[in-house]
Amino acid sequence: MIVVRAWLTARTWRELAYLVSGVFLGVPTFVLAVVGAVTTVASALTVGLPLLVGVLALARLTPRYFRGPARKLLGWDWADPPPLPARTWWGRVRALPSDPTAWRALTYCLARWPLAVVGAYPGLFAVVAAPVGITYPLWWFLVPADDTDTWPHTWIIALQGLAVLLATPWWLRLIVLLDRFLVRALLHPSEAQRRIAELEAGRAALQSDAAALLRRVERDLHDGTQARLVALGLTLSRIENRSTDEPVRKLAADARGTVTEALAELRDIVRGMHPPALDDGLEVALTTLAARSAVPAEVTVSLPARPPDATASALYFAVAELLTNVARHANASRVRINLRKENRRLRLTVTDDGHGGAAVIDFGRTRPAASGTGLAGLARRAAALDGSLTVNSPPGGPTTVTMILPEIGG
């Protein structure tokens, strides 16, 4: 009964549509895989290496290409391939020949089209030819036949057509099951890649929550504690002005001085949590920093969208620390601050025309110089957001500090 009802289920028709569409959609990717196989051999002679890089770059896009019909017809889904680890265009080109994700996708391109043909051809044959064979005893009387094609023989053909019709849905399911196995093995991110993606998503969520918490604390301190301290200072000031008792006036003055110091410390703490200038945007905040700088500073910001709070705070504090370093140690007359988006990352460059000689830092690895700076702390802040800090400061200058952070804030 289950065998008979197989053609009445939507699953059989969806699987048949998936395989038939795979025959047509798989042609360009199969050609891509064949070209990749040929260029792999040719790349041993360095002749086909540029073409192989292009093939692998296209192969990395095919998981999304195959995911469309699989998601719509069968409900399958899988994550996008992880990005290449290199940060620059040339670095990604160099990483492609050894990228396992690209090679697995190319292997699937090679296997998918023959598998779809093996599944789709019997399926279409069963849909078209099996009903003809099953009904052959009925219309045998209308078709001229030779002496060897007798009416009892038509029943053998009918039984063959019925067998093909009943077996085809299970053949389709077998082929789709094999394709599902290939998808899981070749297109799905590996367990390590999934774990890395989960950790990165968790870290991004924690960073976002921490930034939101700091903003709430900053707002509470500003609107609550700071306002109460201001009110207390005003009250003490009135007591000091209205009292005729000198000891009381002195005590009120001392208390008011303590409140004033506490307010100053509280404002420093609030600015360290979340600079209020960032509420108006990173460009406004950096321009404000440059305007307060002891060394004349020029700011250029070119960002298509507002970065996340964690990233904006890191960039703001980096500029603040670097401007302080320039004023204290560099003996510079000019500073240039440039912030722009570059290859899905944010690139901050701070250049001064001072005498140079700062610590050398590259991707968080520090070699201290004679004079101490806050560059190591900036490198750790960048590393916490999956970014990097690079310092180029030869003796005699100029000094260029480059911070690169992910666009999504890690």
Q: Is pLDDT of 364 > 50?
A: no
> Which comes out higher in pLDDT, residue 340 or 163?
340
Residue 132 to residue 125: CA distance in whole angstroms: 10
pLDDT of residue 208 exceeding 70:
no
pLDDT at 274 over 70: no
Residues 58, 169: contact at Cβ < 8 Å?
Answer: no
Superfamily of domain 278-406: Histidine kinase-like ATPase, C-terminal domain (3.30.565.10)
Segment among 244-248, 290-294, 338-342 with least mean pLDDT: 244-248
User: What is the Cα 209 distance to its own chain's centre?
Assistant: 19
- Is pLDDT at 365 greater than 60 in this prediction? no
Write out the two tokens for 217.
Answer: 């604390």
The DSSP H or E segment spanning 129 is helix 100-134
Average pLDDT over residues 299-324: 83
Averaging pLDDT over each range in 124-128, 137-141, 228-232, which range is the top one? 124-128
User: HSE on the CB side for 136, CA within 13 Å?
Assistant: 21
Angle between helix axes 100-134 and 10-43 (nearest 10 degrees) is 140
Q: Are 91 and 75 in contact (CB under 8 A)?
A: no
% of the chain surpassing 70 pLDDT? 75
Label residue 191 by pLDDT band (50, 70, 90): low
Domain ranges of the chain: 2-189, 193-273, 278-406
Between these two residues, 314 and 206, which has the higher pLDDT value?
Answer: 314
**Which is more confident, 410 or 211?**
211
Mean pLDDT of the chain: 77
Question: What would the pLDDT profile of 172-184 be if each residue is shown by its tens digit?
Answer: 889 999 999 999 8
pLDDT reading at 156 higher than 80: no
C-alpha distances (whole Å) from 329 to each of 3, 98, 406 are 84, 45, 30
The 8-class DSSP code of residue 91 comes to H
pLDDT band at 107 (very low <50, low <70, confident <90, very high): very high
More confidently predicted of 202 and 383: 383
Specify the pLDDT at position 276.
65
Q: Which residues pair with 391 in a beta bridge?
A: 401
The arithmetic mean of pLDDT across residues 333-361, rounded, is 81
**C-alpha to C-alpha distance for 326 and 400, rounded to whole angstroms:** 11
Q: Where are the alpha helices (DSSP H) in 183-304?
A: 191-220, 226-242, 246-273, 282-292
The confidence score (pLDDT) of residue 127 equals 80
pLDDT at 108: 92
Q: Who contacts 300 (Cβ-Cβ below 8 Å, separation ≥6)?
A: 336, 337, 338, 339, 340
- Among the residue ranges 38-47, 337-346, 396-405, the one predicted with the least confidence is 38-47
pLDDT in tens, 240-250: 777 777 787 77
Q: How far is CA 208 from CA 279, 312, 408, in A?
A: 16, 12, 10
pLDDT digits (tens, 9 = 90+) for 42-89: 665 555 677 888 888 899 999 989 998 998 888 888 888 877 776 667
Q: Is it the case that residue 292 has pLDDT exceeding 80? A: yes
pLDDT at position 267? 67
Query: Predicted confidence band at 192 (pLDDT cuts at 50, 70, 90)?
Result: low
Give the integer Cα–Cα distance in Å for 21 and 58: 20
Higher pLDDT, 80 or 4: 80
Band (369; pLDDT cuts 50, 70, 90)? very low
Predicted confidence band of residue 115 (pLDDT cuts 50, 70, 90): very high
Is residue 165 very low, low, confident or very high in pLDDT (cuts 50, 70, 90)? confident
